[in-house]
Amino acid sequence: MSADSDDNRIGAFAAVVNSRLAAESRIANAVSFTWLCGGWAIACCLFGVGLTLAFWGYSYMISVVPAAEQVAKALGDAF
């Protein structure tokens, strides 16, 4: 075995390790991107549900029907 042969083996081993680390890094990036997209999707859905419930509740507050019923009841009680 010569010194040149040992340097070749170490270089090949370093290339294999570097390739493996790069592949694992790409997989980790893909998994983190998936979680990021899933989190954004859940956050957007919850925001939409909250906004819908807020508008639905507000529509009950400004609805004409309860005010008309209160006026009719007050007039009925007055007579």
pLDDT tens per residue, range 16-29 = 999 999 999 999 99
- Is 90 exceeded by the pLDDT of residue 9? no
For residue 2, the model assigns a pLDDT of 57
Six-digit token string for 45: 């859905």
Q: What is the pLDDT of residues 34-60, one digit of tens each?
A: 999 999 999 999 999 999 999 998 887
- Cα gap 26→54, rounded to integer Å: 42
Task: Identify the pLDDT of residue 73.
Answer: 85
Which of helix, strand or coil describes residue 43?
helix
CA distance 11 to 40: 43
Query: What CA–CA distance (Å, rounded) separates 59 from 25?
Result: 51
